[in-house]
Amino acid sequence: MNVQFEERGAVGVVTPQESMTADNVDSLRDQFVDWLGRTGGMTNVVVNLAKVDFMDSSGLGTLIALLKRVSERGGDLKIACLPKKVRMVFEITRAHKIFEIADSVDEAVKLSQ
Amino acid sequence: MKAVFHTGLIQSWTASLGDIPWPLLPVGNRPFLEYWFEVCIDLGIKDVRLILGEGAEFVEAYAREGAPWGLSITYSFLKEGRSPDSFLRRSPNVWEDGLFYLCAPVFLYRLSDSGEVPRFRGGTFVHQGQDGAVNGLLSDNPEFLRTFIANPEAAPAASSFEMLKFRPSRINSVKEYFDLNMSVVGPEAKHYLRPGYSVKDDVSIGFNVILPPSVTITPPVAIGNNCRLGAMTSVGPLAVVGNHTIIDRQTELSECVILDGTYVGSGLEIRGKIVVGNRLIDPGSGVVAEIDDPLLVAPVRSVVQWGDVLRAVFGWLCAVLFVLSQAVPFAVLYPLVKVSRKGRFRKTSVHLGRGRVGPLFEFVPCPGRISGLANLFQALNLDLFPGFCRVLTGQIWLCGVKPVRSPEEDSLRRQVREYFPGVIVIDTDERDYAEPGGHLAHALFYARFRSLFSDVRMVLTLIFSRPLKFLSAREPIKG
């Protein structure tokens, strides 16, 4: 899975470039763990879902696993740019009650600082 | 008095709701069409004519002869490109005794407190849409009916349906369909919902529904037949659950419509949405999300139609045999036909299967140059050789209807939901297709009556008819 990682000050922004399904979320998790290990002091993360047009239960499970990993470091994981179709999946699974969701990456970064 | 209902007009808003024809879309705990039948019963009308179109086989299979409602139902097909009232003009005298006519998805809300309809004592009542077109009428006035049938726009003014304690409301969008369900299952549920197993306290539960004791039901709720609700499920308020649905444990349903044959996974919260199979629809925004995850939502029934699988396998095997047996004759004869200018293949853009558009090669004998060579070429079915090769790729069926051209016939393609473009077509007479509505009628006919048996018959007819025609008459072979 193609994932972009960038650092905006003390906040990391993760941008998956395609759908998050059972076929590819293992790769996302591995890359995320790798990247988090390399950025020692980073605690807060924003996941930008603008390019994710579909997410299944495995994708949601991975996001929750990432949230847990970030929380263990004392940080927080926020979601930005949730497309309407993915938002519907968040709503029916109640994931929107677990994550803090922002309309844009900038807003999510500001909330994380 | 007779009733004429048009159920065949395409309603584009229903596309996201799956393959259910709009007359059979559930409203509360039964199909839309049944509410029209109930009004007929209340008005004392027994003779009902349904004009069919897309989904004809499903509507016919549901309504049959009308015995469950005490009605006598007969059927006609909607002709392509003709207005709904053109059917009435075919035999205008038949309707002079009185006509109840609906030609759009109009729901007739009952305005009286008891839900009962006052006895029809004659008169003329018309419902017009926002565009001024007549969506429905009820009249026993022969003069009015004659004028209306001759020219609907010239018909004199009439009373509105409110005088009969009905409020007609045309459904134009998924949002309006959702709102209709919410109002039908709401406080006035007793006017609309069929009793089923229990209809008290604004809860209607159908037959054969498994409800564990830990299920919480908050009225108003309508649950269809043959449903299974998991432990600790919460249903309502304002939930419509269709027939043959499975709601897994700890799921909460409220202000939602779950259409027939849907599985809803465990621990979910469905609020303000329509769920049909693996499709989640937000009625407010119209956004449709296809969820390819059977842990969340999924169709209960298998989407595989085994009859079609058999037809596909049979068609593919036959195509292999045709290609193997025709390859050499084609390689020999086609260059001769082309060099002697007796005919050629023309590339046509057509609608193939699975929503694709692509080229298809059609043999065109040169006018005025029909000869024994071109006839022999067609008698051996070599004009279909490129088509048989296409069947091997799975883009087209061996047997079916003549492929719809693109972009010239795009509107026709939109009217046919179950589309089976084939190399061997059900009727090879071009005149049938050229007739107004002919192509649509063929497509609907084949979708309704397709079977392995019919395909075998079409293949055998093709193999024997053309060579026999060639040997007996030596006539130019068409098609």
Pairing verdict, β B134-139 and B221-223: unpaired
Q: Which superfamily, per CATH, for B189-299?
A: Hexapeptide repeat proteins (2.160.10.10)
User: Which residues touch B290 (CB under 8 Å, ≥6 apart)?
Assistant: A54, B278, B279
pLDDT bucket at B465, cuts 50 / 70 / 90: confident
Looking at the predicted structure, is the pLDDT value of residue A15 above 50?
yes
At residue B463, φ and ψ (nearest 5 deg) are: -65, -40
Looking at the predicted structure, is the pLDDT value of residue B33 above 90?
yes
Per-residue pLDDT, averaged over B468-475, amounts to: 73
The helices-and-strands tally (H runs, E runs) of chain B is 13, 30
Boundaries of every domain in chain A: 3-112
**Are residues A92 and B297, on separate chains, in Cβ contact within 8 Å?**
yes
Predicted confidence at residue B81, as pLDDT, reads: 63
pLDDT bucket at B210, cuts 50 / 70 / 90: very high
Q: What is the dihedral of CA B9, B13, B16, B20, to 10 degrees?
A: -30
- Picking from A58, A64, A91, A92 by the largest number of B CB atoms within 10 A of its own CB, the best residue to mutate is A92
Predicted confidence at residue B197, as pLDDT, reads: 54
Per-residue pLDDT, averaged over B259-268, amounts to: 94
- Picking from B273, B279, B291 by the largest number of A CB atoms within 10 A of its own CB, the best residue to mutate is B291
Per-position DSSP letters for A54-111, written without gaps between them: -B-HHHHHHHHHHHHHHHHTT--EEEE---HHHHHHHHHHTGGGTSEEESSHHHHHHH
Looking at the predicted structure, is the pLDDT value of residue B199 above 60?
no
Look-up of token digits 């709720």: B221
**Are residues B291 and A89, on separate chains, in Cβ contact within 8 Å?**
yes
Under 8 Å between Cβ of B269 and A92: yes
Q: What is the ipTM of this complex?
A: 0.90
pLDDT digits (tens, 9 = 90+) for B81-98: 667 778 888 888 888 889
Angle at alpha carbon of residue B211, lines to B208 and B216, rounded to 5°: 140
Predicted confidence at residue B476, as pLDDT, reads: 55
Lowest model confidence (mean pLDDT) among A87-91, B318-322, B413-417, B468-472: B413-417
Under 8 Å between Cβ of B421 and B398: no
Q: Which has the closest alpha carbon to B238: B290, B300, B188, B196?
A: B188
Name every chain B residue with its beta carbon within 8 A of the beta carbon of A88: 273, 280, 282, 287, 289
CA B6 to chain centre: 12
> In chain A, which residue's Cα lies nearest the Cα of B266?
A93
Lowest model confidence (mean pLDDT) among A41-45, B266-270, B275-279: A41-45
Per-residue pLDDT, averaged over B57-80, amounts to: 87
CA–CA gap between residue A70 and residue A76 (Å, rounded): 6
Residues 255-314 of B with CB under 8 A from A: 265, 267-271, 273, 280, 282, 285, 287-293, 295-297
CA–CA gap between residue B168 and residue B36 (Å, rounded): 11
Lowest model confidence (mean pLDDT) among A12-16, B309-313, B323-327, B417-421: B417-421
User: Which residues touch B343 (CB under 8 Å, ≥6 apart)?
Assistant: B337, B363, B364, B365, B366, B369, B374, B377, B383
Under 8 Å between Cβ of A53 and A83: yes
Q: Which of B273, B282, B293 sits opposite A56 (nearest CB)?
A: B293
The total number of residues shown for chain A amounts to 113
- Contacting B with CB below 8 Å, chain A residues are 21, 54, 56-58, 84-86, 88-89, 91-94
Per-position DSSP letters for B269-330, written without gaps between them: EEES-EEETTEEE-TTT--EEE--BTTTEEESS----HHHHHHHHHHHHHHHHHHHHHHHHH
Predicted confidence at residue B196, as pLDDT, reads: 57
Task: Specify burial of residue B453 (Cβ count, 10 A radius: 0-12, 13-18, 19+).
Answer: exposed
**Are residues B271 and A57, on separate chains, in Cβ contact within 8 Å?**
no
pLDDT bucket at B478, cuts 50 / 70 / 90: low
Predicted confidence at residue B430, as pLDDT, reads: 57
> In chain B, which residue's Cα lies nearest the Cα of A22?
B293
Predicted confidence at residue B440, as pLDDT, reads: 76
**Are residues B267 and A93, on separate chains, in Cβ contact within 8 Å?**
yes
**Are residues A89 and B280, on separate chains, in Cβ contact within 8 Å?**
yes
Per-position DSSP letters for B200-216, written without gaps between them: ETTEEE-SS-B--TT-E
- Say how many CB pairs under 8 Å bridge A and B: 50
- Picking from B256, B262, B269 by the largest number of A CB atoms within 10 A of its own CB, the best residue to mutate is B269
Per-residue pLDDT, averaged over B58-78, amounts to: 90
pLDDT digits (tens, 9 = 90+) for B107-160: 999 887 776 777 778 889 988 888 878 888 999 988 888 888 888 777 777 788
Predicted confidence at residue B113, as pLDDT, reads: 72
Sort residue A8 into left (φ over 0), alpha (ψ -120 to 50) or beta: beta
Span(s) in chain B for CATH 2.160.10.10: 189-299
Most confident stretch, A86-95, B193-202, B302-311: A86-95
Looking at the predicted structure, is the pLDDT value of residue B168 above 60?
yes
pLDDT digits (tens, 9 = 90+) for A79-111: 999 999 999 999 999 999 999 999 999 999 998
Q: Which of A21, A89, A94 sits opposite B289 (nearest CB)?
A: A89
Predicted confidence at residue B479, as pLDDT, reads: 45
**Shortest alpha-carbon distance between residue B453 and chain A (Å):** 41
Third-level CATH fold of A3-112: Transcription Regulator spoIIAA (3.30.750)
**Shortest alpha-carbon distance between residue A92 and chain B (Å):** 5
Q: Which superfamily, per CATH, for B2-171?
A: Spore Coat Polysaccharide Biosynthesis Protein SpsA; Chain A (3.90.550.10)
Going by the DSSP 8-state scheme, the letter that residue B100 receives in this structure is E
- Token pair listed for B315: 């068609």
Name every chain B residue with its beta carbon within 8 A of the beta carbon of A56: 291-293, 295-296
Per-residue pLDDT, averaged over B17-40, amounts to: 89
> In chain B, which residue's Cα lies nearest the Cα of A92?
B269
Mean pLDDT of chain B: 86
Predicted confidence at residue B450, as pLDDT, reads: 85
Span(s) in chain B for CATH 3.90.550.10: 2-171
Task: Specify burial of residue B465 (Cβ count, 10 A radius: 0-12, 13-18, 19+).
Answer: middle
The pTM score is: 0.75
